[in-house]
């Protein structure tokens, strides 16, 4: 099994299934590890992702960037784009998925049928074959057909800081101080504040 397929298998174990989105994350992570090196210590490598789709799990599984450690940051721009920084020297790059090739009309038809009336056995097998072809293309096609690279000159995001918590005066739940709202002398969590705003 080639190295990229070994990485894909590791990501599948983390993500739970194989799909084209995960394959894209694996291809991105593979290039990042070559260009910026493996994550030698926690928070050394930082990723800002512009999507919350399956590809992010490939990055979490292989690069060690996670929300819990604070070295994975989500900016909800809806783009298959990922910016990486190596904190030790500030080296950075942004990687984007190339615009997808025209959607396969057979796949589009089968997906639509799957969501409405369901697929028969032959159709399900065909859809799986097409999905695997797409996964293999993402993992194996020449790099320039899959990804675009941009250099970055901006500094990495600030490291995470431990913040004190306050108790919401409505629900009595502990909430990070920076996420609380003040309303008429009360300290409120965001959900309680939004309930007031909705009235």
Q: Domain segments of the chain: what residues? A: 3-151, 165-198
Indicate the pTM of the whole model: 0.82
pLDDT at 120 over 60: yes
- Sequence length of the chain is 199
Confidence of residue 108 (pLDDT cuts 50, 70, 90): confident
Please give the Cα distance from 194 to 199 (Å, whole number). Answer: 9
* Residue 61: per-residue pLDDT: 95
Q: Nearest Cα to 50, choosing from 40, 41, 59, 42?
A: 59
Residue 125: pLDDT band by 50, 70, 90 thresholds?
A: very high
Statement: residue 28 has pLDDT above 80: yes
For residue 38, pLDDT over 80 is answered with: no
Given this chain, do its domains 3-151 and 165-198 carry the same CATH topology?
no
| CATH class label, 165-198 | alpha beta
Q: Is 194 helix (H, G, I), strand (E, B) or coil?
A: helix
> Is CATH 1.10.10.10 the right assignment for the domain spanning 3-151?
no
Share of the chain above pLDDT 70, in %: 93
């Amino acid at each position: 099994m080639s190295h990229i397929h070994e990485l894909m298998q590791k990501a599948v174990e983390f993500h739970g299934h194989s799909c084209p989105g995960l394959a894209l994350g694996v291809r991105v992570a593979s290039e990042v590890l070559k260009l910026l090196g493996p994550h030698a210590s926690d928070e050394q490598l930082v990723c800002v992702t512009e999507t919350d789709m399956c590809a992010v799990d490939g990055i979490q599984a292989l690069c060690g960037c996670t929300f819990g450690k604070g070295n994975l940051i989500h900016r909800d721009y809806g783009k298959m784009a990922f910016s990486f920084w190596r904190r030790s020297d500030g080296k950075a790059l942004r990687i984007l998925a190339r615009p997808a090739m025209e959607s396969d009309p057979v796949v589009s038809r089968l997906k639509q049928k799957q969501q409405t009336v369901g697929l028969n056995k032959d159709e399900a097998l065909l859809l799986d074959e097409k999905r695997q072809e797409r996964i293999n293309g993402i993992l194996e096609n020449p790099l320039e057909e899959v990804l675009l690279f941009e250099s970055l000159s901006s500094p990495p995001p600030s490291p995470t800081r431990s913040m004190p918590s306050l108790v919401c005066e409505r629900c009595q739940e502990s909430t990070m101080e920076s996420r609380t709202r003040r309303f008429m002398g009360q300290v409120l969590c965001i959900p309680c504040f939004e309930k007031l705003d909705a009235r």
